[in-house]
Amino acid sequence: MPSLKSSLRGFWGHWITEKGCSMYMSFGLLSFALLCILLPMSETRLSLPLSIFVTLGCGSGFAWQIIKLRADETLALIPGKKKLVLNQGIALLTVTYSLFLIFAVALQRMDALFAAALGGVLSTWLILKVIKNTRYFKHVTSIYFLAAIGSIYYDKFDGNVTWLLLLAWLVMSLYSLTKLNNIAWSNTAIHCYKNGLNTGWSPLPTAFTLPKWAEFDKQLFPLSFFAGKTLYTFLGTVTLSSLAIPIIVYFLETPNLAIFIVLTISPIGIMFIRWSMLQNSRSIETLWVLPIFNNRQELHRAFVNRLLFVVTLATIIFWLSCLVAVAIQPNSPDAFTISQANLVAIAMFAGLISIFAISMYLSTDIKFTFAMMLLMNVYFIIIPMMISSKVPAYLLLFLNLCWAGLAILLSFKTIKRIDTVMQKRK
Amino acid sequence: MTALLKLQSVTKKFETHSVLNKLNLTVEPGMVIGLLGKNGAGKSTLMRIALGLDNPSEGNATCFGESSRNLSISSRSKIGYVPQQPFGYEGFSVAEALKLHASFYSNWDFDLESLWLNRFELNRAQRVDKLSVGQRQCLALIMAMAYRPELLVLDEPVASLDPLTRREFMSDLFELALESQSGILFSSHITTDLERVASHIALIKSGQIILFEEADSLKDKIRKVVKGTTPLDLSRYTVLNDSKNASLIYGYEGETISGAKQIIPLSLEQIFIEVHQNAIA
């Protein structure tokens, strides 16, 4: 019987400090930290998605480790390595799910049970797919979306849904345990691993990236020089998801789901732009040797100006869609107001700029991922609070404008780090 | 003597394309076999099948007398393998990675680990994912060799090393084989390394080992025979390649060949090039 110390050897390196796994684990841990704050408030609207994100964070971390194991050609020859990593993963998932089950039973909270079951089903599905083919990991972000949407409609589900999910999860878990032995080296796994590190949470497969539009490309230079097609994909996705807001409001009478989608997609888009820039890190030298900018400051200023332009454009599209939604929404007691639309749009603008500014400041990927997850969680708390807050609208507007102003100042300040960040990446 | 590694009539097909074709190879203790072949000749596939990482379409692969697909823990503890793309300890520092890796082997030699860390000038505190390709290769070599495996399989182990490190590594490799009677199978495109270290050379072409010979006698036994006006009788030799003006023969023992305009000795690199010259239809 191996000792606890022996069973935990390498745990920190595998699950916490490894870049890819830390992306998902830190998201789960952070969601857990926020959940601990929110739990006493009995606020299911926020605690439910956070609970699901905790279980999904651990589940996707485990699926990521399977990719890593499958990318290692020497795995089958190192006695005990596969078993060690898999046992650590199983223990991690068991502890996480057990916490939810204990919590659900002790406090009679069905929502915790639902969170564990939904998170469990989705995580186990991902794990099973990754055991079969590592390429399925590209669906990870879609799973998070699905979970978030599922949590929104929790109230509408019959109690039996939770029990059905729980049963499905149990069956799937037992089945996946029998499949873990099949994990073997795959020549495509290393590409999935590297691709996953580069694209991070990007939910957009390359097939959906939009082609370049030469004229617009010039307008967005030098940002377009670094980020390329990602910029158009970002703008295209924000436009499409914003256009969905009035439609969803018209049919479902609530803007929360639609706004949630845009507010999730847009920070991911900004993070994706940052990833693209880092992938093209050598381009900064190429750009610098071209006779375009007189000095570094000029380049930095041009860069931030273009970034502000892109974010403003995305915000305007989102804001206009919100206004249309306000105009066409059916009469209901919790109607979406113009004031709320303004507030959410400004918050989106400030949030996106902040995310970019912080991403420039934090050069290492782990710090960056951690900060992003924190910011996204804050983002998800601030915005729903704005929609339902009792604080006077003018005060919220003032606070929001201050945040936006601060974010712009921060972006000009941190863009100086662009050279350092890209240098470190090499 | 039990062969450390044995491939018998191994065929590997990827869809309709055959990478290995009824290939036979045996590695015995003390042998250092240098595997030479063009890109895509099947060297990596051969190594993977030999170690049970991939299934052959036909034929058998055994290590220490056991089927490669079902190696026992004890046999796996005696194998060292360095793939072309070493991977697996991202997220760890060099020291942490070595500590964890060492924990999987009961006979890990920490002195050898330190010696090689110093030789490769690897910083223990450096993170594995920040290592250069060459440094990552060095770490993989330490990980594969610090427990003194009986069978060492190295897929282009020195491709990313600088000449000095490469030379030192090659000499250590040879010493290791001599000292512990390990068997080593390694592939490389650097023919000077093969000439310096390998006890045997295996030349792979079209999925088959077309030449397997002791390194010392290989160059003596191979000649390029330039054709004259009279027809050549090369029936007593193995013709490795044949063109309009010359033939590459194996089995030469110093005799004169009637009809030959010229008999040219070749270096290993020249042999490799001549073998792969387009033959006449």
Mean pLDDT for the stretch of residues A374-383:
65
Q: Which of residues 21-60 of A touch B (CB under 8 A)?
A: 21-22
What is the DSSP code (8-state) at residue B60? E
* The pLDDT value given to residue A2: 72
Beta strands B17-27; B58-63: pairing state: unpaired
Quick one: angle between helices A140-152 and A44-71, nearest 10? Answer: 160
- Cβ–Cβ contact A17 with B under 8 A: yes
Interface-testing mutation among A26, A74, A365, with chain B (most B C-beta atoms within 10 A)? A74
Judged by a CB distance cut-off of 8 A, whether residue A82 touches chain B is no
Interchain CB contact of A2 with B (< 8 Å): no
With beta carbons under 8 A apart, name residues in chain A contacting B88: 68, 71-72, 74-75, 81
Report DSSP state, residue B280.
P
Q: Average pLDDT over chain A, rounded to whole?
A: 78
Over 70: is that where the pLDDT of A368 sits?
A: no
- Give percent helix, percent strand, percent coil of chain B, each to the nearest 5: 30, 30, 35
CB B206 within 8 A of CB B217: no
Q: What is the pLDDT of residues A224-259, one digit of tens each?
A: 777 766 777 777 878 888 887 887 777 766 666 667
Model pLDDT, residue A204: 43
What are the pLDDT digits (tens) for B22-76? 999 999 998 999 999 988 889 999 999 999 999 999 999 999 999 999 999 999 9
Closest chain B C-alpha to A134 CA, distance in angstroms: 16
ipTM over 0.90: no
Contacts of B55 in chain A (CB under 8 A): none
**pLDDT at residue B103, as a whole number:** 94
| pTM for this predicted structure | 0.73
Confidence grade of residue A200 (pLDDT, cut at 50, 70, 90): low
Q: Do B87 and A72 touch (CB under 8 A)?
A: yes
pLDDT value, residue A207: 40
* pLDDT of A426 higher than 70: no
User: Which of chain A's residues have a Cβ under 8 Å away from the Cβ of B106?
Assistant: none
- Token pair recorded at residue A256: 């929360």
Q: Give the model confidence (pLDDT) of B181-222 as tens digits.
A: 889 999 988 888 888 889 999 999 888 999 999 988 888 899
Contacts of A307 (CB under 8 A, 6+ apart): A223, A353, A356, A411
The DSSP code sequence of B175-229 is HHHHHH--EEEEE-S-HHHHHHH-SEEEEEETTEEEEEEEHHHHHHHEEEEEE-S
What is the secondary structure of A178-232 as a DSSP string?
HHGGG----TTHHHHHHHHHHHTT----GGGPPPP-HHHHHHTTTHHHHHTHHHH
Are residues A19 and B104, on separate chains, in Cβ contact within 8 Å? no
Give kind and range of the element (H or E) at residue B231. none
With beta carbons under 8 A apart, name residues in chain B contacting A81: 88, 104
CA distance A25 to A15: 7
> Band of the pLDDT at A208, cuts 50, 70, 90?
very low
Give the pLDDT score at A255.
65
Put simply, whether B90 touches A (Cβ < 8 Å) is yes
Residue A425 contacts B, CB cutoff 8 Å? no
A129-A130-A135-A141 Cα dihedral, nearest 10 degrees: 80
Is there a contact between B79 and A21 if contact means CB atoms under 8 Å apart?
Answer: no
pLDDT of residue A107: 78
Q: Are A85 and A21 in contact (CB under 8 A)?
A: no
The mean pLDDT of A212-228, rounded to a whole number, is: 71
Residue A371, pLDDT > 80, answer no
* Residue owning tokens 């959906």: A208
**Is the pLDDT score of A13 beyond 80?**
yes
Return the pLDDT at A425: 46
Q: Residue B73: which of A19, A79, A185 has the nearest Cβ?
A: A79
Query: What's the mean pLDDT in A93-111?
Result: 85
Query: Phi and psi at residue B122, in whole multiples of 5°?
Result: -90, 135
Suggest the residue from A77, A85, A425 to mutate for an interface test with chain B (most B CBs closer than 10 A). Answer: A77
How sure is the predictor about A364, in pLDDT bands with cuts at 50, 70 and 90? low
* Residues constituting chain B: 281
pLDDT value, residue B120: 87
User: Between residues A92 and A331, which one has the greater pLDDT?
Assistant: A92
User: Among A18, A76, A77, whose Cβ lies nearest the Cβ of B90?
Assistant: A18
Q: Across residues A193-198, what is the average pLDDT?
A: 76
What's at B255, amino acid-wise? E
Nearest to A76 among B53, B92, B105 (CB): B53
User: What pLDDT score does B280 carry?
Assistant: 45
Contact flag B129-A78 (C-beta cutoff 8 Å): no
> Does residue A159 surpass a pLDDT of 80?
no
Q: Could you give the residue ranges of the DSSP H alpha helices within A107-188?
A: 110-132, 140-152, 159-179
Four-point Cα dihedral A404, A407, A409, A415, nearest 10: -150
Residues of B in contact with A10 (CB under 8 A): 92, 96, 100
Of the residues A18, A73, A84, A87, the best mutation for testing chain B's interface (the one with the most B CB atoms within 10 Å of its CB) is A73
- Residue B75 CA to residue B26 CA, distance in Å, equals 17
Asked whether A341 and A323 are in contact (CB, 8 A), the reply is: yes
Whether the CA torsion A324, A327, A330, A333 is positive or negative: it is positive
Q: Is B102 on the interface with A (CB under 8 A)?
A: no
Q: Mind telling me how many Å the CA of B154 is from chain A's nearest CA?
A: 11
Unique residue bearing structure tokens 């892109």: A310
Question: Looking at chain B, which residue has its C-alpha nearest residue A14?
Answer: B91
d(CA A213, CA A207): 17
CB-based contact, B175 to chain A, within 8 Å: no
d(CA B33, CA B12): 21
Question: What is the pLDDT confidence band of residue B99, given thresholds at 50, 70 and 90?
Answer: very high
**Strand runs (DSSP E) across A267-392, as ranges?**
none
pLDDT digits (tens, 9 = 90+) for B215-244: 888 888 999 999 888 888 888 888 888 888
For the cut 50, the answer to whether the pLDDT of residue A205 exceeds it is no
